[in-house]
Structure 1
Amino acid sequence: MAVTSTPVLPGLPALPDPAAEAVLGSGLLEELSYAFGGPFHFLLPDAFDRNLAALRAVLAEAGLDGQVYYAKKANKAAVWVERCAEHGAGVDVASAGELREALGHGVRGEDLVVTGPAKNPELLRLAVRQGALIAVDSLDELDTVVMTALGGRARPARVLLRVLPAAQPHSRFGLTGDELEAALHRCAKAGPALRTEGFSFHLSGYDIQARADVAGTAIGLCLRARALGLEADRISVGGGLPISYTDAASWQEFLGTQHSGHYHARKSFGTGDFYPYHSRVSGAGALRALLAAHPEGHDRALADLLRESGTALLLEPGRALLDRAGGSVFRIQGVKERAGYLLLTVDGTSLSLSEQWFASEYLPDPRLISPDADRTGVARTEVRTEDRTGVRTEARSGAAEGPAGAHRAAVGAATCLESDMLSWRKITFPRRPRDGDLLVYPNTAGYQMDSNESPFHDLPLPPKVVIDHTDRPRPRWRLDRHFH
């Protein structure tokens, strides 16, 4: 096995993912690229199941009642909703289309939570009719829900009152203190037509202590609501559980060394422009840290406050449920020489790597795969490894693939826009990329695949392929059943 030198420019290797490695090594991606004739995404639902089980395990070990709702906006694929239906998880929806899609794939109305600001009246009517939990964002919205509930329905409307966090007073989401007080009295006045189940909040960012502080406030509001005769026995802390795409050393090295010279056209990014691709605690570990945190003004952990007050915890994660649940595949269809680096053009657009939506960059290193495999079916891929000293090397499996060395390349899209770059960063590859090679961007299921997708230039939207069994010698696949 030939080994190449460590890249000169800072890279960001993805954390090991045996399931994804099995798919890359099977030769399946090359066949699918040929079959579809364009970019596509592959989905690994077993990872979703593991992430859901891990979050539930944290709630169980803390002795808490709760529910996990998948934030559907994170990825439109139907397979995630199907898994929620199978495992009794909920789904967080914010439109009538998302609500219908969840129902159509087997999720009960009672297992839906409806979020989003200034909800469409049609959405509210559907939510009340189906028994979904509604996170009310304004007094006007509350009045609409109450009127709908009083309109002859047999069961009450279910609501959470959304709190405007004191730490983010300029947020467009939530009710102020005065509005909350008015809402509580309106809820009490509505009587049995309305079931006020508790409070929720939207908090931007991934600060665990800040989320614990607002959760502590929400518990206090539950006690206030109970004094008015309302049920108020649960709070929703939303999502915001970070995940790690790479290891701590790689992330710190990247942040400490990256500058405009590392990007095509000397594009400049500040360190604060990037998602935190490494977090000290992530996924289920972040939930555990949240429950262990002491909310401001309290001398006990959040988990203790929830138990002692008899308050259930609701979660609405998206990215944390989709960690290592898929990747995105593009075929190189052009290679140009530039001063000191290459400029690749692939058969898709940056709209399928939605970090560009935030004027940012999706940083985990893509893998370069040759469409040629040897006669045993072993694909020729670059594999990153790390020895005990933490020094990364890159090895190639299969037959020789051309000259080895540090080949730097930025990745552009197949459109007429200068700004349409999948990777502004000059990525170091251990051999020269060439026409027909595949680039596989890892761990893109959470918010990258379709948040910003568009059939620009009449290019088809990349299909999603569900790979159900990665432990088989030959993985099985099918197209996702999303209702287009």
Structure 2
Amino acid sequence: MAVTASAGGVATWPSVPALPDPATETVLASGLLDELSYALGGPFHFLLPAAFDANLLAMRATLKAADVDGFVYFAKKSNKAAVWVERCAAHGAGVDVASLGELREALGHGVRGEDVVVTGPAKARELLELAVRQGALIAVDALDELEALLATETVAALRPARVLLRCLPPTQPHSRFGMTDAELTAALDRCVRAGDAVRMEGFSFHLSGYEVGPRADLAARLVERCLKARALGLAADRISVGGGLPVSYTDAGSWRAFLAEQHGGHFHAGKSFGSGDFYPYHSPVAGAGALAALLSSRPQGHGQPLAGLLKECGVALLVEPGRALLDRAGGSVFRIQGVKERDGYRILTVDGSSLSLSEQWFNSEYLPEPCLLPRSAEESDGSPGIFPASVGAATCLESDLLTWRKVPFPRQPRVGDLLVYPNTAGYQMDSNESPFHELPLPPKVVIDRVERPEGRPAGRPERRPRWRFDRHFLRA
């Protein structure tokens, strides 16, 4: 539940604790992170592929429970680590890519071309050529892109192009992505005239935000479009609803209390954020639960849930989650290298930068609170209390803070302690990272085995987590 910490009865500090995660807690208790920080000499990320596997299997189980034909693609842009694509290949899942480099990465890690969907606007000719050659599904964003696709040598000589036509959402008419109704009509006519050069497999869209109702409504409209496209002789047997499945990082009470109480005094330098500036760090339905809610939602104007409509019309549902597949699949680790007292709170300086917590990209804040790990066991029992602190970067930029909020730490932070930010794998680590100040990029450590005490047979000694570097770090 939410807690409001007090310091001498003067100030209060709303808390946003991360939801419990046994695997992460086992890693924290193992001592491994301190050893890695010492060995690597700087910040790093740790990855938990077992969590990715569990999230993928949960989404597949949701589709099966609803008796819906569907397919899950991992949105590769949400994290650059090679391990996620390796897991997709191992489980026969798909990958959503938007560049030639991402497509090559997916293919190079064993993902079949047929299991790749290529999204993004104004795709380069080289990307289109390789996508068609490998049998990837291509979400066409504009009429000129469709013409460019039909003009590729691969389409002319080898095989038809598999395409989805991307729809401009009526509720987001100013989006730069997708085609209007008139453009979709023209695109369908062009697909018909293209004959065997194109296999038009359906439609796609992506909606900003996380509401279920608008997604269900637009999905139903695209199912109707599929039926009309079939009447023209096109395959049109699937729709993609993109990503947008939320992740719940904290409990409902803590999130409500934070939104109600937060103000400029809770942030360094009085920085202010509107409640709408933050990602919704609590969601009543998340991940596979949000997918279940979408399937059970009844689209406007229809007498049955979306799942029933899809089944009745023989339309498969494609989803492209990123963050939701990476829920609880990793964290980011920094070492405190400076502590400064300032007006009743502390400013901690760590050995990294805000470029590793990419919510700053949206002029926002990553709110789940970092865990403070003492530099030694002897100092773990320091003076109890509430010690509010913001977290700054080891750069010369005034605005480079990992955490503007004055986090209410339960123990006094000291130089040498570790700060572990939880659940950062989805759209946090690596989206913005650059070697600013010639600081190296934080490496990624894959933890393949996390053994909890309750899962260990009696009499067998505890084994430390087994780890390795992600392939990208080894290549660098």
TM value normalised by structure 2: 0.94
2:454 alignment partner in structure 1: none
Equivalent residue in structure 1 for 2:419, among 429, 432, 439:
439
| 1:111 Cα deviation from its structure 2 partner | 0.6
Equivalent residue in structure 2 for 1:411, among 367, 391, 400:
391
Structure 2: runs of 5+ lacking an equivalent: 7-11, 452-461
1:388 alignment partner in structure 2: none
2:228 alignment partner in structure 1: 224
| 1:215 Cα deviation from its structure 2 partner | 0.4
- Measured in 1, the distance between the counterparts of 2:49 and 2:253 equals 29
Against the structure 1 CA distance between its residues 290 and 151, is the aligned structure 2 distance closer, same or farther, given a 3 Å change threshold? Answer: closer
Equivalent residue in structure 2 for 1:66, among 65, 70, 93:
70
- Measured in 2, the distance between the counterparts of 1:349 and 1:242 equals 26
Q: Which deviates the most, 347-356 or 207-216?
A: 207-216
Structure 1: runs of 5+ lacking an equivalent: 375-398
1:465 paired with 2:469, answer: no
2:162–2:198 CA contact under 8 A, matched in 1: yes
Equivalent residue in structure 2 for 1:194, among 193, 198, 209:
198
- Measured in 1, the distance between the counterparts of 2:155 and 2:171 equals 38
- Measured in 1, the distance between the counterparts of 2:291 and 2:155 equals 40
One-letter amino acid matched to 1:16:
P
What SS does structure 1 have at the residue aligned with 2:14? coil
- Measured in 2, the distance between the counterparts of 1:400 and 1:32 equals 19
TM value normalised by structure 1: 0.93
Superimposed CA distance per residue, residues 338-357 of structure 1 (whole angstroms, 9 cap, x where no aligned partner): 00000000000000000000
One-letter amino acid matched to 1:122:
E
2:448–2:465 CA contact under 8 A, matched in 1: yes
1:25 paired with 2:29, answer: yes
One-letter amino acid matched to 2:196:
P
- Measured in 2, the distance between the counterparts of 1:401 and 1:56 equals 45
| 1:5 Cα deviation from its structure 2 partner | 9.6
After superposition, the CA RMSD in angstroms is 1.3
1:121 paired with 2:125, answer: yes
2:464 alignment partner in structure 1: 474
2:237 alignment partner in structure 1: 233
1:88 paired with 2:92, answer: yes
2:133–2:158 CA contact under 8 A, matched in 1: no
- Aligned-pair identity in percent equals 72
- Measured in 2, the distance between the counterparts of 1:164 and 1:220 equals 16
One-letter amino acid matched to 2:39:
A
Against the structure 1 CA distance between its residues 149 and 231, is the aligned structure 2 distance closer, same or farther, given a 3 Å change threshold? Answer: farther
What SS does structure 1 have at the residue aligned with 2:37? helix
1:47 alignment partner in structure 2: 51
Q: Show the 5 A alignment for 1:82-481.
A: 82-148=86-152, 151-373=155-377, 400-471=380-451, 473-481=463-471
Equivalent residue in structure 2 for 1:77, among 69, 76, 81:
81
| 1:149 Cα deviation from its structure 2 partner | 6.1
Against the structure 1 CA distance between its residues 279 and 201, is the aligned structure 2 distance closer, same or farther, given a 3 Å change threshold? Answer: same
- Measured in 1, the distance between the counterparts of 2:276 and 2:109 equals 39
One-letter amino acid matched to 1:413:
A
What SS does structure 2 have at the residue aligned with 1:12? coil
1:118–1:137 CA contact under 8 A, matched in 2: yes
| 1:288 Cα deviation from its structure 2 partner | 0.4
| 1:272 Cα deviation from its structure 2 partner | 0.2
2:386–2:411 CA contact under 8 A, matched in 1: yes
| 1:146 Cα deviation from its structure 2 partner | 1.3
What SS does structure 2 have at the residue aligned with 1:468? strand
| 1:330 Cα deviation from its structure 2 partner | 0.3
- Measured in 2, the distance between the counterparts of 1:431 and 1:179 equals 60
One-letter amino acid matched to 2:104:
R
1:128–1:149 CA contact under 8 A, matched in 2: no
What SS does structure 2 have at the residue aligned with 1:321? helix
Superimposed CA distance per residue, residues 399-452 of structure 1 (whole angstroms, 9 cap, x where no aligned partner): 653222111100000011111000000001111101000000000000000111
1:150–1:193 CA contact under 8 A, matched in 2: no
- Measured in 2, the distance between the counterparts of 1:345 and 1:186 equals 58
| 1:151 Cα deviation from its structure 2 partner | 4.8
- Measured in 1, the distance between the counterparts of 2:80 and 2:401 equals 23
